[in-house]
Chain A
Amino acid sequence: MAMALTTSSSLFISKYSPSSSSPSPRTTPFLGFSLSASTNKPSLQSNRLFYICCQDKSSAIPAEQQWMFDDLTGPDVWNKTWYPKAKDHIPTSKTWYIVDASDKILGRLASTIAIHIRGKNLATYTPSVDMGAHVIVVNAEKVAISGKKRTQKLYRRHSGTPGGMKVETFDQLQKRIPERIIEHAVRGMLPKGRLGRSLFTHLKVYTGPDHPHEAQQPKELPIRDKRITKQT
C-alpha cells in the first residue's frame, strides 16, 4: 500500500514538472520543483514528498536531480556516525611502534605511549573498540626522572591480608624489576576495565636494547612533547 502511493506520486512528478516549472512561481526550497502537482492531492501525500527515508530516496527525488544523490543503495555514510567493523581493527594489521626510554621523563613518555595504545591520535578513535597500536619500549632501566623522586617516589602493593602492605622506592624497584616502572606508569594512564586490560597487553617493555619483535617491523614512535628528554 505504501509502495503504491509513492510510485503514484513519483509518476505525477515526472508528468507535471517540465510543463508547470515556468508558470507557477511556488517552488519548494529543498527539491526545487513546483508544488502544483500536489495541491490537487490530499495533504497526506504532499507530506510524503518531503519525508525522505533511506528506502524511498529514489522515488522522492525528481529525475533531473538524481545525479546529485549518488550511492542510494548502500548505508548512509554522512548521517550515521561511523562505527568500526571487524575488518577495521584486525589485530594482525595493527601498527607497531618502538621507543627508546633512555633519558626520557617517565610520566611524559608514559602519556605518549598510552595515547598511541588507546588510539586517541587517530581520527577513527572509538572508545569501545581497540583501534590503537602496539608499542615496544627498550632500555627501560635508563628511564629518567626529575627531582628527588629516585629515592623518594614510593611504589606500594598490598597482598590482601592485614599488614600485608609492601613499599619500595623507585631506586629499589629499578634494581629489582626495571620493566615494572614503565608498566605501572602506563597502566595508570589506560582505562580500567576489560578493554583497558587488553590494551595493556599491547605494551611490551624490555630492559636493554634488544627486543624479539623484529618481524613486526616497528616504526619510530612520533613524540610531540618538547620536554620529554631530561634537561641536564
Chain B
Amino acid sequence: MNKKEVFKLAKGFRGRAKNCIRIARERVEKALQYSYRDRRNKKRDMRSLWIQRINAGTRQHGVNYGNFMHGLMKENIQLNRKVLSEISMHEPYSFKALVDVSHSAFPGNKAAAAPKKEGLAVLL
C-alpha cells in the first residue's frame, strides 16, 4: 500500500499513528489483522449475547437457558437464538408461550430426582 492509502485507513488513530508514516503503517497492519480476526469473533460474541439475553428472559419465568433449549429441541422447534432473543425482548407474551411449551416438554431433572431423599429425610 502506498502512503496515501495507509493514511486513509489510519483515520481516528491516536497520536502519531495517524500522522507519521512509519508508525501509521505498523498500526494499520495491526488494525487489519484485528479486523480479520474479529470478523470471526463477532459471530461468536453475537451468539453469546443472544444466549445471555435468552437466559435472562427465561429466568424471569423460572426456567433456565439449558432446560429451555432442551425442551425446545424435544418439541422440534427450530427457532435460532437470534430470533429467540428478539422475541424475548419485543414479544414477551409469545416468549412466555414458548417457555410454557418447553417446560411442558422438559420440566427439568430435579422434578424426577426429588423423591429419592425419602431415606435421608429422617436426618433433616
Contact = CB atoms under 8 A, between A and B. Distances in A.
Indicate whether A and B interact: yes
A123 B53 contact: yes
Interface stretch (B8-16, B33-41, B79-87, B109-117): B79-87
A77 B82 CA distance: 11
A121 B56 contact: yes
Contacts of A127: 49
A123 B56 contact: yes
A214 B89 CA distance: 30
A69 interface: no
On chain A, which size bracket covers the interface?
10 to 19
B44 to A, nearest CB: 13
B interface, over-half SS: helix
A51 interface: no
A interface, over-half SS: loop
Given A77-B90, A81-B46, A123 B83 contact: no
A170 interface: no
Given A78-B83, A81-B82, A123 B49 contact: no
Interface in A120-149: 120-127
Contacts of B85: 81, 123
B104 interface: no
A45 B92 CA distance: 41
B57 interface: yes
Contact of A124 (B50, B53, B54, B83): B53
Contact of A77 (B50, B59, B86, B95): B86
Contact of B50 (A81, A121, A122): A81
A78 B90 CA distance: 10
Contacts of B50: 81
B76 interface: no
Contacts of B83: 78
Q: Which 4 A-B pairs rank lowest in CB-CB distance, beginning with the nearest?
A: A123-B57, A123-B88, A123-B89, A123-B56
Interface of A: 77-78, 81-82, 120-127
Given A82-B90, A121-B60, 13 more contacts: A78-B83, A81-B85, A81-B86, A120-B52, A120-B56, A121-B59, A123-B53, A123-B57, A123-B60, A123-B92, A125-B52, A125-B53, A125-B56
5 contacts: A78-B86, A81-B85, A123-B92, A126-B49, A127-B49
Interface of B: 46, 49-50, 52-54, 56-57, 59-60, 82-83, 85-86, 88-90, 92, 95
